[in-house]
Chain A
């Protein structure tokens, strides 16, 4: 993917690219450290229909959502031949009992037979995380297991 980077003297830097559907999408990193998500209009790719200010947390959450979706799609593709196996994403809420705890504490594999195959954090993928990886609020866990196992894993992550 070819991302254009343009200096905005005095304001910051713009990074964007053209989508297949003909819309320009990207971010503007402002001097003050905040970010704006920009999407161009249909009729004029030069102008922006929306520029949404995002805090650092919001930006990384959005990154996880987008990246996580992609990863989950790839995984379900791979697991399609195995009936009964499903991929799902869990996000760690700020009030989750496992926030700032090592993942092993939740004992998800032992209790529900579900594997956490990756963690998305700040737009980065941590593949095959070990039990000592510490979970943070905003993390997106990509899990593989049976439908029932995933349901109980979701409950564990939310309520302990």
Chain B
């Protein structure tokens, strides 16, 4: 068959299947991310059907997907919100980082994946899925709850931590020396600070530069700027995704709101392809051997997120049920864990089992997270009632 025809047929079939999966996910009220991953596993190396023609496209689209994910994440926040969030939640944020980075990193060391593997797995278990968390909070009608700002500030802290972590990870994966690594950290910290300052004072100018009344011009401006910034950031070894995140933060006000609306469909498409592309590169037969470890990690890091939420909510003066709700809302891991694992896999310096473990882990956590958030309160009540009767 003509290679172009083959690519189109494969791509069409995959995107169509993704549509079906997304519909299924919506029907049963779960995040589509685990289903996309499973879809990728089914189509990839060693899967049910093997797709050859669309590998190249899937790879580039996946990269664009990551850039759009981070750009939209940046668009969600204004620089002022980031600052207040940081001031309000840095203690909880640090606790979150310590408690949730260590399990992943420790397991990677235990499995003999070295410090690079530990860096990666620590990141995978650390970062909550702000997408899933925000959806859970909205769906369960908890926007007006008192613990919600606590949860959101922790997510803000995590996102900022990502902006520093990703460049370090990129440098580590590229095999940069310790000194070189320090330089990247310094550069990325400086860039993050400068962008935040600029966004706080001159955000409207950045917004003006990309803004247009014409939605076509606006879309092209936005996408062009995002890819340019991401490319330049990547060339400076600061990680393409972080460049896009920073651009998102710098764009503010009504422009950010319009940008979100206009980019959402594109992000959904490319991010879905990104998850599939990640699944494509993972051999499904490599998952069962690491499933046990994934379960251990899941239980452990669900508990550590719970602790983080409970501690942070307690500090904010929230009563017992609210503390547990805050903890449970943070449990879900998703898109960003896959972004981190994807970076590591693309660099080729981590063992294949890492991709398998990350996939299995995210599959579990993306399903467990929303369930935990939904049932933590009934569970708590059921748990407390017998105790009271006994007393």
Give the interface of A toward B (CB within 8 A).
6-12, 14, 16, 24, 26, 28, 30-32, 36, 38, 40, 44-48, 50-51
Contacts and interface: CB of A to CB of B under 8 A. Distances in A.
Contacts of B156: 9-10
Nearest to A26: B144
A40 B144 CA distance: 8
A36 B85 contact: no
Contacts of B321: 44, 46-47
Q: Which 9 A-B pairs have the closest CB atoms?
A: A38-B144, A46-B322, A46-B146, A10-B76, A9-B81, A48-B144, A9-B152, A51-B141, A9-B156
B316 to A, nearest CB: 10
Interface string B310-337: 0000000011011001000000000000
Contacts of B148: 8, 11, 14
A14 B144 contact: yes
Given A7-B149, A9-B76, 17 more contacts: A6-B149, A7-B85, A8-B143, A8-B152, A9-B77, A9-B81, A9-B153, A28-B144, A32-B257, A40-B144, A44-B319, A44-B322, A46-B321, A47-B322, A47-B325, A48-B141, A48-B145
Interface string B233-257: 0000000000000000000000001
A16 B84 CA distance: 19
Nearest to A47: B145
Given A46-B321, A47-B322, A8 B149 contact: yes
A12 to B, nearest CB: 8
Given A46-B318, A46-B319, A10 B144 contact: no
Contacts of A47: 142, 145-146, 321-322, 325
Identify the interface centre among B148, B153, B257, B319: most chain A CB within 10 Å of its CB. Answer: B148
A12 B142 CA distance: 13
B152 A10 contact: yes
Contact of A11 (B85, B134, B146, B319): B134
Chain B interface size, as a band, is 20 to 34
B164 to A, nearest CB: 18
Interface in B121-171: 130, 134, 137-138, 141-149, 152-153, 155-156
B85 A51 contact: no
Contacts of B67: none
Contacts, number: 79
A1 B376 CA distance: 35
A115 B143 CA distance: 43
Nearest to B78: A9
A24 B322 CA distance: 14
A24 B146 CA distance: 10
13 contacts: A9-B82, A9-B84, A9-B85, A9-B152, A9-B155, A10-B155, A10-B156, A11-B152, A28-B144, A30-B143, A38-B143, A46-B146, A48-B143
B253 to A, nearest CB: 11
A28 B318 contact: no
A24 B148 CA distance: 15
Contacts of B137: 11
Contacts of A26: 144
Identify the interface centre among B76, B143, B319: most chain A CB within 10 Å of its CB. Answer: B143
Contacts of B81: 7, 9-10
Nearest to B149: A6
A74 to B, nearest CB: 30
A10 B76 CA distance: 5
A9 B141 CA distance: 16
B257 A31 contact: yes
Given A9-B82, A9-B85, A9-B156, A46 B145 contact: yes
A50 to B, nearest CB: 8
A2 B138 CA distance: 26
Nearest to B156: A9
A24 to B, nearest CB: 8
Contacts of A10: 76-77, 81, 130, 134, 152, 155-156
A8 to B, nearest CB: 6
B274 to A, nearest CB: 21
A78 B6 CA distance: 83
Given A7-B84, A10-B77, A11-B134, A45 B144 contact: no
Nearest to B377: A47
B79 to A, nearest CB: 11
Interface in B262-302: none
A11 B155 CA distance: 12
